[in-house]
Amino acid sequence: MISKAVPKKAFFITGTDTNVGKTLVAAGLLVAAKNKGLTTAALKPVAAGCDKTSEGLRNADALLLQSVITQPLLYDQINPYALEAAIAPHIAAQQEKRSLSVDRLSGFCRGVLAQADFTLLEGAGGWRVPLNPRETLADLAKNLQLPVIMVVGIRLGCINHALLTFEAIVRDGVPVAGWVANCVDADMPAMQENIDSLRARLPVPCLGVVPFLAVQSPHIVATYFDDVELQKIIL
């Protein structure tokens, strides 16, 4: 266990595409931070693809994040914009006649960002997902001045997707703290060679390599992070 007298750290989690395991990796990072004695919080400010429940719309990713954090946050604090249709968030918001903006999302997020030692704000899909005709989720990371942790889905095409995403983040003036390789295709040929190629080309640390998991548990994911590299960014 470590001293609680640590600077509060917060990061924006983005992916190289949709369905690359952003939430699972984020939840694993939160568990790893908790295991080091840190208090943790999480945000999924916009979630498209929510189920109707007796308590309102609920998103499985936001619920997973809620289940692993130490801070007692209400669901609406974690996911203020829950959209029913599992489509691009700006289109889902248009269908529900709701308005998404960086200013409003930033206001919701700021109330949570200072509550814990380690906080993750998860985006939706990739770096350039639109919120409205003028803004994207990248603008939220920029507005909140959050460094990025990039989740790379290790599958065919991942090198190109990762390098383009990294270039876009840097071009936007946002620092990249590190990246995580998440092996989403169990049968991918030359998987290790692809990961090695990414290590050689991305000038930021690889925080971990998560193998293809039959049982997708955040507690299992937490065991696959590079402890030395992870401590450098979370402490």
Q: Which domains does the chain have, with CATH numbers?
A: 9-234 (3.40.50.300)
Q: Give the model's pLDDT for residue 209.
A: 98
Q: Give the model's pLDDT for residue 235.
A: 85
How far is 39 from 70, CA to CA, in rounded Å?
A: 6
Three-class secondary structure of residue 129 per DSSP: coil
CA-based nearest residue to 77, from 123, 44, 38, 126: 44
The runs of H, that is alpha helices, within 96-178 are: 102-113, 137-144, 158-171
Longest dimension (CA), the chain: 49
Q: Check: CB of residue 105 under 8 Å from CB of residue 46.
A: yes
How far is 104 from 10, CA to CA, in rounded Å?
A: 19
Three-class secondary structure of residue 184 per DSSP: coil
- Of the pLDDT bands very low, low, confident and very high (cuts 50, 70, 90), residue 3 is very low
Q: What is the mean pLDDT of residues 121-142?
A: 96
* Residues linked to residue 209 through DSSP beta bridges, in sequence order: 181
Q: Check: CB of residue 176 under 8 Å from CB of residue 14.
A: no
Among 44, 97, 142, 232, the active-site one is: 44
- Of the pLDDT bands very low, low, confident and very high (cuts 50, 70, 90), residue 114 is confident
Locus of tokens 């694993």: 28
How far is 221 from 25, CA to CA, in rounded Å?
A: 7
pLDDT in tens, 157-203: 999 999 999 999 999 999 999 999 999 999 999 999 999 999 999 99
Amino acid at 204: V
pLDDT in tens, 72-108: 999 999 999 999 999 999 999 999 999 999 999 999 9
Q: Give the model's pLDDT for residue 6.
A: 60
Structure tokens at 152: 């790379």
Cα dist. 134→109, 161, 197 in Å? 20, 23, 35
Q: Check: CB of residue 61 under 8 Å from CB of residue 83.
A: no
Structure tokens at 222: 């937490």
How far is 122 from 194, CA to CA, in rounded Å?
A: 25
Q: Give me the helix-helix angle, 22-35 and 227-234, nearest 10°.
A: 80
- Can 44 be counted among the known catalytic residues? yes
pLDDT in tens, 5-58: 567 899 999 999 999 999 999 999 999 999 999 999 999 999 999 999 999 999
Q: Tell me the whole-structure pTM to 2 decimals.
A: 0.95
